[in-house]
Structure 1
Amino acid sequence: MSSAKTSVSTVSVFTDFKEITKMGLSLSVVFSSLAGYLLGAETINLITLLLLAIGGYFMVGASNAYNQIIERDLDALMDRTKNRPIPAGRMSVNTAFIIATTFTILGLITLYVINPKTAMWGAISIFLYTSVYTPLKTKTALSVFVGALPGAIPFMLGWVAARNAFGIEPGTLFAIQFFWQFPHFWSIGWFLHEDYKKGGFFMLPTGKPDKGTAVQIIMYSIWTTLVSILPVFGFTGDLKLSIVGAIIVLLLGFVMIFYAFRLFKERSIKAAKQLMLSSVFYITMLQIIYVADKFLS
């Protein structure tokens, strides 16, 4: 009986750990960083790749834990977040803080071993996310613009880890992920609008799921697609994209733009969810295509 209880508690502790660090989101961010590294690496170093994956997970996990500490009272008000470890009472603030600070320290050390610039960008990311973006979410819809800055760093971070330098190439990777976040997060803000309202969050540019928000989503979907094909024109340094690669990326962009227009037309929760899924598909496939294009061209 006691062993059954122990196994249940072990499972629940692991589940809470996954939730406090948002494991799914953290792994997707690590994926972005690794893609950026593969694009920037002249020769692939598996140790660096491993350090980037571990350090990246620590940094994102820390950011998510800090976020849940700061927003614990608001999380308790929303259906989407009320069962998170802290508001549900399964984890104390002190425990979450120990996890967050430990992850921060280990993350910075791990990224510093790669090179100091990678650690610096990791530190900037965690600071912007926890100290600027998180407090702004209940003050202004501009928080999404601020949040897009740390959110755009991982793809770029991988290149910096590979080259120990910042230039046009990581800048382009940053721009792609920066613009992409607006259709992505605004679509989430759209279908979770009523829930976000309970927590007092301002997530949509006009403050509500209306035609104005839908128009901005369309514009940012178009800009994301245009920025994504810039490397085909040859002025992004060592970041290159073949014509075939650019055509595939363009077609993926058209799919996202199609769903953005559908949202404008229908203005429904279903259309917003479809756009969100298409945006996730877009950024994942773009990173795979960029890497495949480099090694196959």
Structure 2
Amino acid sequence: MGFYSMYSYLSSYFTVSKWRDLLVLGKARLSFSVVFSAGAGYLIATEAFQLTQFLYLIAGGIAITMAANAFNQIIEKDIDAKMSRTANRPLPAGRLSVSESFMTAAILTLIGAILLIKVNALTAAFGFISLIVYVLLYTPLKAITPFSVFVGAIPGAMPFMLGWVGATGRFGIEPGTLFAVQFLWQFAHFWAIAWILFEDYKKVNYHLLPTDQPNEKASFQIVLYSAASVVTALLPAFGITGSLHLSLWSALLVLLIGLYFVRSALILHKNPSVFHARLVMRTSIIYLTLIQMIYVLDKFSFQ
């Protein structure tokens, strides 16, 4: 096959709609938002910003995250077909084949591994562990036990920590603290999503809420974990997290934003409903984004 023939074949195969479906397969928008945390972690840790290293981290993180999402959708394609929220995804809708999806996921994994190893070996190792835990543990466990949320929170909490490891090449109390902040945050955030999608998940026998039902016991745990995330986010202000510091003014901002987050969880607890669960979900995203920005700004403004 000549170059022109090959070009014509690829052009006809990879149409705009095909590229759009491949992006949906990897949940590109979600992947970019997840890697925002990695960028924040890198900026907090770096003493000498290296643009090339930073870009390797971001691009590698996006590739690994998209690969994990793609593998997840391959495994769950039959389940996705049964839920109204996911029935129109490329695989259950028949717009992508399993072989196309698997090849895409494999290529993204390879690209992600190559890019992250260029950052440093520890970053690549954590990135690969995140992929394995998400695909081989969290995905199958969703159909078995609500404990899957705990397992899923591990890869979900990796990006913030991964940024620090990418900048320093080491693991310690500082990246451990960043991991803990996002790990605890995951529960309130995801349980709010599980509350909103309870009926859809029920169709495929997924029980992801801690009490299997959207009730006051579940909302109480959302309150507890949201509060725990806020307390953990304040630890750097007390000088007990190594070289990870937070000034008094920044700590006050984190506290105020955290109280807003916890308040949304308390409202859900007092008024259990999908509407208030959606409020917790949106507030949780605002909370995490803002505190990460505060950490970064504090690093360059007060230290």
Note whether the superposition's TM-score is higher than 0.5. yes
Aligned partner of 1:94: which letter?
S
Aligned to 1:31: 36
Match of 1:186 among 191, 196, 203: 191
CA RMSD in angstroms comes to 1.3
What amino acid does structure 2 have at the position aligned with 1:239?
A: L
Say which of 165, 182, 195 aligns to 2:200: 195
Give deviations 1:162-202, integer Å, cap 9, x for gaps.
00000000000000000000010000000110001112212
1:289 is matched with 294
Q: Please show how residues 1-297 of structure 1 align to structure 2 within 5 Å.
A: 10-297=15-302
Deviation of the 1:30 alpha carbon: 1.1
Alpha-carbon separation, structure 2, partners of 1:33 and 1:199: 33
Runs of 5+ consecutive residues of structure 1 not aligned to the other structure: 1-5
Q: Hey, what's the Cα distance between the residues in 1 that align with 2:129 and 2:255?
A: 31
CA displacement at 1:106 relative to structure 2:
1.0
Q: What secondary structure does 1:138 align onto?
A: coil
- AA aligned to 2:288 is I
Q: Which residue of 2 aligns with 1:3?
A: none
SS in 1 for 2:146: coil
Aligned partners of 1:14, 1:188: CA distance in 2, in Å? Answer: 28
* Equivalent AA in structure 1 for residue 139 of structure 2: T
- Matches of 1:228 and 1:66 in 2, distance apart? 32
Cα distance in 2 between the residues matched to 1:185 and 1:11? 32
Secondary structure, in 3 states, of the residue corresponding to 2:82? Answer: coil
Q: Secondary structure at the match of 1:229?
A: helix
Counterpart amino acid of residue 157 in structure 2: A
Partner of 2:3: none
Deviating runs (4+, > 2 A) in structure 1?
A: none
How far did residue 203 of structure 1 move? 1.1
Normalising by structure 1, we get a TM-score of 0.96
Spell out, residue by residue over 1:88-127, the C-alpha distance to the aligned partner (whole angstroms, 9 max, x if none): 0000000000011111111111100111000000010000
Residue identity matched to 2:296: V
> Could you give the per-residue CA deviations for residues 16-75 of structure 1, whole angstroms, max 9, x where no partner exists?
122101011100111110101101111100001110111001100000000000000000
SS at match of 1:246: helix
C-alpha displacement of 1:158: 0.6
Q: Distance in 2 between matches of 1:107 and 1:205?
A: 33
Total equivalences in the alignment = 292
1:265 deviation in Å?
Answer: 1.1
The residue type equivalent to 2:15 in the other structure is T
Which amino acid in 2 is paired with 1:255? Y
Pairwise CA distance, 1:14: 2.4
TM-score, reference length from structure 2: 0.95
Name the CA distance, whole Å, in 2 between partners of 1:204 and 1:12.
35
Deviation, 1:11, is 2.9
Alpha-carbon distance between aligned partners in 2 of 1:24 and 1:251, rounded to the nearest angstrom: 28
- The percent of aligned pairs where both chains have the same amino acid is 50
Partner-residue secondary structure (3-state), 1:206: coil
Question: Where does structure 2 lack aligned partners over 5 or more consecutive residues?
Answer: 1-10
Please state whether the residue corresponding to 1:89 is helix, strand or coil.
Answer: coil
